[in-house]
Amino acid sequence: MDTRIGFGYDSHVFKPGVPLRIGGLSFDHPEGLAGHSDGDVLLHAVTDAILGAIAAGDIGTFFPPSEPRWKDADSAIFLNLALEELSHAGFQLVNLDTTLILAQPKISPIAGEMRAHLADLLGVTMNRVSIKAKTPEGLNLDHVAQCHAIALVERIQVDDCEKSMSAVIESQRQLEDVVEDLLASVHGVSKRGGGDPLYDTEDIT
């Protein structure tokens, strides 16, 4: 099976007067994350991880910060684009592992809700999504939020039912070949494409 791994990273500085959104959820917090879009550090890292897995560039390739139309944009738009690129490349997400690094707010109380929401955005079950949170102890980064994301993807396989149908069709063709060989050897009937037909098709109504 063809599997690939993508890694994504993003960071944003906290800024007063900006709404805080992480993982597509809004937080009641005095500061938000500065960015051209909504500054969602988690969705940005996940988007890059998915794009990286199929070597499709990064979030800036599709949504450059110089474009005014992406000002304050919902980062779910970026994630949806990455998922479309993933599908067009013939792959699907297997699982996602992420680590948020920030001093505040505390993620653990709502980690379950965040996982459920992210899984819904990704179109996968919740047990395929992991969200962990760490604090940047001793690094003097209390004013910054960072996120690391790793995505495992696999090539989409033909459904078993489609494989079975192909096998049935192939078996039917083989059966027809055997029948034709028997007719040719026993009754002198030519194979398809040659000889006289068994019936006068002009008389069939």
Give CA–CA dist 160/201, Å, rounded.
Answer: 40
Instruction: Go through the domains of the chain in sequence order and give each one's CATH number.
Output: 3-155 (3.30.1330.50), 160-203 (no CATH)
Give CA–CA dist 191/76, Å, rounded.
Answer: 60
Tokens of 166: 């192909």
Q: For residue 198, how far is the Cα from the chain centroid? A: 55
pLDDT for position 139: 85
Output the pTM of the full model.
Answer: 0.75
pLDDT for position 182: 57
Tell me the mean pLDDT in the region 162-180. Answer: 56
Name the more confident of 195 and 159: 159
Query: How does DSSP classify residue 66?
Result: T
Give CA–CA dist 13/176, Å, rounded.
Answer: 70
The confidence band for 140, taking pLDDT boundaries of 50, 70 and 90, is confident
DSSP code string of 88-119: HTTEEEEEEEEEEE-SSS--GGGHHHHHHHHH
Beta strands in the chain (DSSP E): 3-16, 20-22, 25-27, 31-33, 91-101, 129-134, 144-155
176 phi and psi, to 5 degrees?
Answer: -65, -40
Tokens of 151: 């995505």
pLDDT 10s digits, 92-110: 999 999 999 999 999 989 9
Q: Map residue 133 onto helix, strand or coil.
A: strand
Tell me the mean pLDDT in the region 122-134. Answer: 97
